């Protein structure tokens, strides 16, 4: 599993380096390595209110990369890394709703619109626009987010809703009354500068 996540992270970082809508003619090799911020333990949780028992799950195994110069943003998380309070609920989530063996990852590729200057401390409200792929189905999202800088430490926070039907996540009829048609997703990431020599060379 560790290898898979490392592989996923490297893939995401490669996509980020090659994904630059604001500077389409910029060469990867000319871009400073310090533009790339990475997070290997981003926290993602979701919440769905239900009449009998609210549904909550979380993981701190998401990976993310942010290009502070272009605003390109990437997230990837293994679906089976989400943990629930009750094991039976976790089993239903993976087997009945998400079909996690068939669709093992959720992924977001997008951009921070009007990227702020992250060289200065502060809290910056931004809009993030991109494509979220869950359960094998992609949908465009534009969500509000906050980028914070304190003592050169960059962190990101976002809360948004995901409609289950938008990603063809079907709920068994017996459980329909217990689960809302959409879930609230919360994302938190604390980024570090990528100082690895391989990040800028593609080695």
Domain boundaries, the chain: 36-193
- DSSP 3-state of 23: coil
What phi, psi does 168 have (nearest 5°)?
Answer: 55, 40
Give the residue with greater pLDDT, 170 vs 80.
80
Give the separation between CA 160 and CA 176, rounded to whole angstroms.
22
Q: Are 153 and 190 in contact (CB under 8 A)?
A: yes
Contacts of residue 176, Cβ cutoff 8 Å, sequence gap at least 6 = none
Structure token pair of residue 91: 């089993």
Q: Are 146 and 123 in contact (CB under 8 A)?
A: yes
E strand segments, the chain: 36-48, 55-67, 72-78, 83-84, 105-113, 122-134, 137-150, 153-163, 182-193
Task: Enter the pTM of the model.
Answer: 0.80
pLDDT confidence of 15, banded at 50, 70, 90?
low
Fold of 36-193: Lipocalin (2.40.128)
Tens-digit pLDDT profile for residues 122-180: 999 999 999 999 999 999 999 999 999 999 899 999 999 999 889 998 776 555 566 67
pLDDT confidence of 11, banded at 50, 70, 90?
low
The label of the residue with tokens 């590729």 reads 109
195 forms beta bridges with none
**47: pLDDT strictly greater than 80:** yes
């Amino acid at each position: 599993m560790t290898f898979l996540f490392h592989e996923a992270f490297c893939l995401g970082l490669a996509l980020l380096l090659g994904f630059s809508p604001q500077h389409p003619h910029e060469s990867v090799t000319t871009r400073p390595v310090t533009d790339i911020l990475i997070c290997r333990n981003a926290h993602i949780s979701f919440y769905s209110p239900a009449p009998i028992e609210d549904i909550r799950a979380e993981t701190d195994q998401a990976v993310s990369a942010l290009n502070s110069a272009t605003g390109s943003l990437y997230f990837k998380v293994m679906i089976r890394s989400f943990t629930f309070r009750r094991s039976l609920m976790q089993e239903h989530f993976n087997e009945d709703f998400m079909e996690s063996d068939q669709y093992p990852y959720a992924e977001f590729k997008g951009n921070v619109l009007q990227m702020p200057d992250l060289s200065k401390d502060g809290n910056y409200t931004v809009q993030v626009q991109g494509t979220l792929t869950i359960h094998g189905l992609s949908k465009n999202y534009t969500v509000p987010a906050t980028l914070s800088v304190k003592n050169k430490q960059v962190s990101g926070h976002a809360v948004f809703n995901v409609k289950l039907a938008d990603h063809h996540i079907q709920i068994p009829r017996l459980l329909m009354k217990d689960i809302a048609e959409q879930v609230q997703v919360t994302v938190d990431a604390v980024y570090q500068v990528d100082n690895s020599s391989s990040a800028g060379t593609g080695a």
